[in-house]
Amino acid sequence: MFCGKEVRVFIIGQAKESFIELKNKTDKESQSIIRSIQRIIEILKTNPQYGNPISKELIPEELKKQNQ
């Protein structure tokens, strides 16, 4: 929750496919990457403003349309 609102994190497209593929692997490196991704997801849920902001001009049009 951030400011009393529920925060959802979406993994889409190729990132989602790669994430699922990593979850199916059992090697140490894959599990380490999964833990790192899950840690960042939890950080984003508690603080959606985490990280470096990017200019709206730099966001590709296809991503803008995809999230509407």
As a whole number of angstroms, the distance between CA 57 and CA 18 comes to 27
As a whole number of angstroms, the distance between CA 54 and CA 4 comes to 25
Would you list the domain boundaries of the chain? 13-66
Please write the tens of the pLDDT for every residue from 6-59: 888 889 889 999 999 999 999 999 999 999 999 999 999 999 889 998 898 998
Query: Which pair of structure tokens corresponds to residue 1?
Result: 């929750």
Provide the pLDDT for residue 68.
Answer: 59
Task: Provide the greatest CA pair distance for the chain.
Answer: 40
As a whole number of angstroms, the distance between CA 29 and CA 22 comes to 9
